[in-house]
Structure 1
Amino acid sequence: MSIIVIIDDRAINRNILKRLALAVAQDVKTHCFASPSEAIAFMKHQAPDLVVTDYSMPEMDGADLTTHIRAIEDCQDVPVMVITAFSDRTFRIKALEAGATDFLQSPVDHNEFLSRARNLLALRKEQLAAKSRASNLERELMNVERQHEEELRNSIERLGQVIDSLPAMVTAVDTGGRCAFANAAWGEFMNKPSHEWVGLDFYGQLTEVARERNKRLDLKIFSSGRALPPYEVEIPDPMGHIRFFLVTKSPLLDGYGNVTHVVTTSTEITDRKRAEAHLLHIAHHDSLTDLPNRTLLTLRIEEQINACRKSGKIFALHFLDLDRFKPINDALGHRSGDRLLEMVGERLQSCVKQSDLVARMGGDEFAILQTDIRGPDDTLTLARRIVDVLEEPFYIDGQELRTGASIGITRYPEDGIGSEELLRHADMAMYQAKAEGGNVYRLFSTTMDHDARQSIALEAELRHAVLSEQFELYYQPQVNLQTNEIVGAEALLRWNRPGHGVVSPLVFLPMAEETGLIIPISEWVVTAACAEAKRWHDMGHDDLRVAVNLSPTQFRKQNVPSLLEMALDNSGLRASALEIEITEHIVMHGSEVVERELKQIQRMGSRVFIDDFGTGYSSLSYLSRFSINGLKIDRCFIKNLEHDPNDAAIANAIIGLGKSLGLEVIAEGIETPEQVAYLREAGCLYAQGYYYGRPMPADQFRELLDSKSSLLVASTG
């Protein structure tokens, strides 16, 4: 079992560190203290395997605490990890000289803590094992001294062989700085046989940095007579390669207890340090582009906030989303999509200063932390540069690709004082840029936050509306232009929103599409419309039909024919009385699945109409490919029918097209008798609009059907 002592005057930090410590290994037991004195008293009776302490505490700082720990006999080489929020190296040096083993910067990266804590516990186990081996060797040496001189020489030779076989470099230096012993591992590392080191000025053979460090630490041991806690160093080998070692220094005593030599043991940990660095890099970088990820970006933002809070400087955060990336990725495949993301990352890096940071947030989203800006112009200049650079074509596998970027910008402290707040506001500004067509940048404003909160509230209310059935269908009559008889009605969705009254679908349908709530809403619409049409038939109006609108999302996410069959079966309505209205977008971008489902709907007996015909990217080819029964002329062509020759020509063309293809044509938005007369003369058979009746609740429509005459406008014509 490994014992970890945690010392921090703040309870929340102790709890966090305790949870992290318990995750280091299964056999870990923790002891937490708010008071350094209480911790010292505990360690005098129970030596831990690792101490984790905060540097800044009211009673004593981390350096003083470490000094007290090293004064405890059984804790002289216990690893001590000091956590500090100070970036000044002075505090680190002070703690190191007091005997600290390792450091972590606050706020603590959890992955880094776990990695280092595991390594220090492993080190502790190695130390205890080494102590045990040393004790055994010492006892063996004492026994050998009592034996015959020849046996003594043989034992010393065997001891040298043991030390030579250790996977560590071992040297011994006397009080004059001369080398008394060097094992084979040291000789191999320094490229000089170990026996040639004996008698040499040991420090004179080292680099200047290593010479001064070893002199200072060895002098401390000669003076105190106590071993130093293990520490890590970087040592260049004769080839100039940097290698990492864990070093321990211990005194060698004569029979009178005087320190005669300092024994230094250096165990190579280069592979371990590289593995730690690799794991830390993976945790903080995107695997595709090798750019910093959201985690590292957030850390850098926090660092900038702390620095700017002291200096009074400002920085900016650019949050950008690529335009048109999904179609490229879908059309060319993920390999080309990934390569495009890599090239975008390279271009973004070419736009920024060395002190700035480019990060990939995931998907096709990137962020840029722009530091040390002098004013708003610097921010806008960079944003314009990014837009211009990403507008340039990309060439992948000989193919020219074009994308762009929608950029949202926040500035500290104007738009937020925390990393999460700045990121959230930059994301809002990016969505505003995206909503305006993309390939632009927008600065965050407080109105965006207000709009976002309203959007969140709308989504919550909309979800509640689905569960509590706050929706209602209104019905607008559809009329035969030749007889003025009602032939059916279009079912139009309304929301009885609490506190707002009856709300038009223009307010909430975009949110429903975005959140996927359009699926349960549309299912309710179809079911309710079929049930209401069955009531008309039961009243004796069994020739009436009802039209419902279907969303493109429904064709992508559910089986539409099955939905219609269920609604017809539950209501008892015959299929021929149900008409489906879809947009040109559905058929223009429809897959084979859409084509198959539309044909299946027609085989059931229901009919399919194209709503708002002529307003989209119309193509006559889909009229022959897909199973279409009719067209609805959009109200924008009807509004100025009598005065605008272009609108009149379009309306006539659609009516003529319908006749030629055997399709029914319904004109929407009829408001005047003149429009009625024109369309009747042009050969249009059906119409709907305010002239015949506004959308009305179901009970009012039934009252209309029960009126004396089924003719809506007897005077027309």
Structure 2
Amino acid sequence: MNWLTQLPQKYKKFLISLVVSLFVVSAVISIYQLRQIIQLLESPKSSTSWSVVQLQMEHRRFINALQLYRLGGVKHSDLMLRYDILWSRFPVLLEGQENAGFHNIKSARQLVRELFQEVQRIEPLLQALPPSHEKFVQVIERLNMYSAPINTLVNKEFQRNSEFDKKTDFKLLQLQLILSFAIGALLISGSILIVMIVRENHINRYLANHDVLTGLPNRAGLREFIASLENNRRDYAIMVLDLNGFKGINDSYGHEYGDRILNVVAQRLNGQMRHCDYAVRLGGDEFAIVQTRVRSSEDCSGFAQRLINVIEKPISLEDRECFVGTSIGISTALDSQDDWLTILGQADTAMYQAKQESRCSSWQFFEGQMQLAKEREQHLLSQFRDALENQHLSLFYQPILDLANDKVVGAEVQARWEHPVYGWVEQAELVDIAHACGCVVALESWVLRASTQQLKRWQHGLNTNLQLAVSISSSTLHNDLLVLVNKVLIESRILPHRLIINIIDSDQQMLLDCVDAIRELRRIGVSLSLDNFGSAECPLELLNHLPVQYLRGAKSLMSDLLNASEKQPMLIATVMFANRLGVKLVVDGVENQQHLEQLKEITKEVLVLGAAVAAWAPAEEFSPYLRAFAESPSE
């Protein structure tokens, strides 16, 4: 019955409906035919024949009694008893329901009725005349006249009953055949239905414990496997894997293509499993491995590296070659009394640590301090919304330096949170926290409002033409940013070109969905900057759709280019590329004076951010940079 699993859902429903209908119809027919057979078997087949024979016998006995009474051999009371018995046979034949068939035979009914009338006529004679009276001879003769017709009636009735029995037997045979077919259909459809139900239950159990897309076990399957494992042993480890670079593939080529990538990864993972290991898809691009028979951490690290090697192999689909990596977190049950859910959570924590520490594929064992970091994250998540609503956040600013004239031309703003326990939490982490608790739009809206109000105060106090760069995620872009910007510009009374919206993430589809709003921002004079330029998260295709004036080089990329002299031509090429596009390159991550001097030797056609220019500072400490800017020629 494996073919059942391959049937499309609509055909499977049709087949089930057909089998159920066949079962119900067969059951109804079987019950109906069985009732017919029972009625046929219980019908009084010989009741009419018996009644006619009884009439014949009582008719003969009464004539014999008359003859004996005439000769003095029978008492008058005995004669009247025979008369009463004979009389009682007529209503049975003429009116009894069990003789309904007899009522339809007109000649027979007429004969019995005439005999009944004759019997009724002689009753006064029997009461009044003595036995020797000559009328008794006439009575006997008249009654004898009916003997031959009654005998004929008996013979016909037996013949009719014989034909009726034949018809009944034939009908009974027909009913039995129909009943046999109905019961056969009932058994077959019932068997098919039972098999389908059992098979469907098996499929449902399989689907409950397996991932539909990859065929790997799911979290429920993992629970069953570990439950059976923990009854006997603790020599196992759980690894949590998260794919690197998968989101870009999914955004670029679509979810269907991404699903095929996940299938390939699942097959590769399964191919590395021993019979005692267990591969699971947790959801999205996250997988888990249960490695058993673990003797030491070296067993896990070697296995993790093999998984990395096999996952990093190129994937060729639809004439495209794609590459994905993975970050792996590992937690072992060796020397641990924690349950499997705790160990799974520890592996998940270690995976995120591996992802934070390296953009390349890597593995990381769970360590105790990671749990402290996770608890810290949970505390921040639970308290952040309240901190935002009560304005417990602070704004910090860093100057933007134009190397062409060595002047401060703008400032970038960041939000920070001074937590009473954990100290300062910087913007990058704040944005992640805000995304996690669903209030990133509220955070970025607050930063935009508060920083533009500060810019307004600076402009009035220092008469400066400073530009302000505010980082905005695609979530806020998608949430009527144009309306918010217009409102903020009116409230702060700053000119639109003094505001730079820096798009900090590159969810390509969301940005393309917002392209009209982005173009409208540019139309009203707001400047636009695209962050992470040069990284995989910022595809060049976006530049064809977004009217940006600034490209922010990815911080890690800029640092690599400055630290390696052989890569400096790439930095020059990047500047030239930006110039050809008519945009300005912003180099972020210039952290020391040496890097700043190196950059000046390579090119001065860039804007610079970093500790080499100045450290982040709150508004009240930012005045020295603004005074220096105010002393420069205004635009």
* TM-score, length of structure 2 as denominator length: 0.58
How far 1:614 sits from its partner (Å)?
Answer: 8.5
In structure 1, C-alpha distance between the alignment counterparts of 2:513 and 2:35, rounded to whole Å: 80
Give the gaps of 5 or more residues in structure 1: 1-120, 171-184, 190-243, 247-266, 659-664, 671-687
**2:366 corresponds to:** 444
Letter in 2 for 1:640: Q
How far 1:350 sits from its partner (Å)?
Answer: 1.9
Alignment counterpart, residue 227 of structure 2, candidates 302, 321, 325: 302
Is 1:385 equivalent to 2:401 in the alignment? no
How far 1:332 sits from its partner (Å)?
Answer: 3.5
**1:143 corresponds to:** 42
Checking the alignment, whether the CA contact within 8 Å between 1:144 and 1:151 is kept in structure 2 is no
How far 1:381 sits from its partner (Å)?
Answer: 4.4
Checking the alignment, whether the CA contact within 8 Å between 1:285 and 1:291 is kept in structure 2 is yes
Structure 1, residues 12-45: CA drift from partner, whole Å, max 9, x if none?
Answer: xxxxxxxxxxxxxxxxxxxxxxxxxxxxxxxxxx
Checking the alignment, whether the CA contact within 8 Å between 1:484 and 1:713 is kept in structure 2 is no
In structure 2, C-alpha distance between the alignment counterparts of 1:320 and 1:374, rounded to whole Å: 21
**1:473 corresponds to:** 395
In structure 2, C-alpha distance between the alignment counterparts of 1:482 and 1:440, rounded to whole Å: 41
Alignment counterpart, residue 568 of structure 1, candidates 479, 489, 495: 489
**2:578 corresponds to:** 623
Structure 1, residues 115-155: CA drift from partner, whole Å, max 9, x if none?
Answer: xxxxxx99x99999899779847843751586676567446
In structure 2, C-alpha distance between the alignment counterparts of 1:479 and 1:338, rounded to whole Å: 45
**2:442 corresponds to:** 520
**2:212 corresponds to:** 287
How far 1:650 sits from its partner (Å)?
Answer: 1.5
In structure 2, C-alpha distance between the alignment counterparts of 1:318 and 1:304, rounded to whole Å: 16
How far 1:459 sits from its partner (Å)?
Answer: 1.8
Q: How does 1:277-356 map to 2 (within 5 A)?
A: 277-305=202-230, 309=231, 311-356=232-277
Change (3 A) 1:453 1:626: farther
Checking the alignment, whether the CA contact within 8 Å between 1:322 and 1:404 is kept in structure 2 is yes
Is 1:654 equivalent to 2:603 in the alignment? yes
In structure 1, C-alpha distance between the alignment counterparts of 2:460 and 2:404, rounded to whole Å: 26
Letter in 2 for 1:394: I
Q: Larger % of helix: which?
A: 2
Change (3 A) 1:689 1:590: farther
How far 1:461 sits from its partner (Å)?
Answer: 1.9
Q: Secondary structure at the match of 2:614?
A: coil
How far 1:484 sits from its partner (Å)?
Answer: 12
**2:381 corresponds to:** 459
How far 1:475 sits from its partner (Å)?
Answer: 5.1
Alignment counterpart, residue 593 of structure 2, candidates 615, 631, 640: 640
In structure 1, C-alpha distance between the alignment counterparts of 2:619 and 2:25, rounded to whole Å: 82
How far 1:457 sits from its partner (Å)?
Answer: 1.4
How far 1:455 sits from its partner (Å)?
Answer: 1.0
Alignment counterpart, residue 511 of structure 1, candidates 419, 422, 433: 433
| Greater length-normalized contact order (CA 8 Å, ≥ 6 residues apart) | 2
Change (3 A) 1:409 1:159: farther
In structure 2, C-alpha distance between the alignment counterparts of 1:508 and 1:537, rounded to whole Å: 28
**2:123 corresponds to:** none
Change (3 A) 1:546 1:447: same
In structure 2, C-alpha distance between the alignment counterparts of 1:432 and 1:696, rounded to whole Å: 30
Letter in 2 for 1:286: D
Change (3 A) 1:130 1:280: farther
Structure 1, residues 322-378: CA drift from partner, whole Å, max 9, x if none?
Answer: 222222333344443333222222222221233443333332222334455566555
**2:328 corresponds to:** 407
Q: Secondary structure at the match of 1:316?
A: strand
Structure 1, residues 624-653: CA drift from partner, whole Å, max 9, x if none?
Answer: 3666468567542xx334xxxx75232243
Structure 1, residues 514-543: CA drift from partner, whole Å, max 9, x if none?
Answer: 66644322221221122223234444x333
Which protein is bigger by CA-based radius of gyration?
2
**2:287 corresponds to:** 366
Structure 1, residues 488-537: CA drift from partner, whole Å, max 9, x if none?
Answer: 76544332434556654365344346666443222212211222232344
Checking the alignment, whether the CA contact within 8 Å between 1:530 and 1:546 is kept in structure 2 is no
In structure 1, C-alpha distance between the alignment counterparts of 2:298 and 2:608, rounded to whole Å: 55
In structure 1, C-alpha distance between the alignment counterparts of 2:185 and 2:504, rounded to whole Å: 78
Checking the alignment, whether the CA contact within 8 Å between 1:518 and 1:551 is kept in structure 2 is no
Checking the alignment, whether the CA contact within 8 Å between 1:168 and 1:268 is kept in structure 2 is no
Q: How does 1:584-623 map to 2 (within 5 A)?
A: 604-605=524-525, 615=555, 616=557, 619-620=574-575, 623=578
Cα RMSD, aligned residues only: 5.0
Change (3 A) 1:353 1:146: farther
How far 1:569 sits from its partner (Å)?
Answer: 0.6
Letter in 2 for 1:650: L
Change (3 A) 1:398 1:451: same
**1:43 corresponds to:** none
Q: Secondary structure at the match of 2:593?
A: coil
Letter in 1 for 2:209: H
Change (3 A) 1:295 1:150: same
Letter in 1 for 2:177: Q
**2:347 corresponds to:** 426
In structure 1, C-alpha distance between the alignment counterparts of 2:289 and 2:402, rounded to whole Å: 61
Checking the alignment, whether the CA contact within 8 Å between 2:401 and 2:410 is kept in structure 1 is yes
Q: Larger % of strand: which?
A: 1
In structure 1, C-alpha distance between the alignment counterparts of 2:396 and 2:481, rounded to whole Å: 22
**1:39 corresponds to:** none
Checking the alignment, whether the CA contact within 8 Å between 2:251 and 2:509 is kept in structure 1 is no
In structure 1, C-alpha distance between the alignment counterparts of 2:628 and 2:193, rounded to whole Å: 98
In structure 2, C-alpha distance between the alignment counterparts of 1:375 and 1:133, rounded to whole Å: 73
Change (3 A) 1:326 1:126: same
Checking the alignment, whether the CA contact within 8 Å between 1:580 and 1:607 is kept in structure 2 is yes
How far 1:320 sits from its partner (Å)?
Answer: 1.9
Query: What is the aligned residue count?
Result: 458
Q: How does 1:549-560 map to 2 (within 5 A)?
A: 549-553=470-474, 557-558=478-479
